[in-house]
Amino acid sequence: MTHPLLAAAALLLATTASAQFTAVPGSGCPGANPITTAGIPKIGLSITYTWFCSSRSDVPFMVFGPAIPPVFQLPVPPACVASCFLIHPSPPVFLAGPSGAGLTVTIAIPQDASLIGQSIHTQGACMTTAACIYLSLATATQIS
């Protein structure tokens, strides 16, 4: 599913870098996995982010924003394990998916040369039925 408003917001908030997907050091909860990525982050092409929670009852979320360090630690609770670090997008774009179904977001990168060298951060989260929040490793996407 393509979210044109998300694409526009995320890409307008982007900061400079080179083309690739990389994990953001120090992000997520202990033992966290990254969001699955597909596609080539290049102008005129599309990229897809997919995030599934480990439980069928968990609600998946994704946050998108500019690559602005640092990450910040979630308090316990809402994180139900210690040392969970959320990226610090400002302003953030949040999307939620249905519980148990995961969340897939495809972004078409406009054919706009000013986007070359820009970077956005993405991070997945799962909210459990006990209102705990677990975070994925954040992913930096750098556009070429």
pLDDT of residue 46: 96
**Domain housing 122:** 4-142
Dihedrals φ, ψ of 45, to 5°? -115, 180
Is residue 59 within 8 A of residue 115, CB to CB? The reply is: no
CA pair distance 49, 94, nearest whole angstrom: 13
CATH number at residue 67: 2.60.40
CA pair distance 57, 101, nearest whole angstrom: 9
CA pair distance 31, 136, nearest whole angstrom: 9
Is residue 129 within 8 A of residue 67, CB to CB? The reply is: no
Q: What is the dihedral of CA 94, 3, 111, 21, to 10 degrees?
A: 50
pLDDT of residue 56: 78
pTM above 0.75, yes or no: yes
Q: What is the pLDDT of residues 9-33, one digit of tens each?
A: 444 444 444 449 999 888 999 999 8
pLDDT of residue 3: 47
Task: Please report, rounded to a whole number, the percentage of residues in the chain having pLDDT higher than 90.
Answer: 51
- The stretch 117-123 carries a mean pLDDT of 91
Q: List the structure tokens of 120.
A: 């956005």
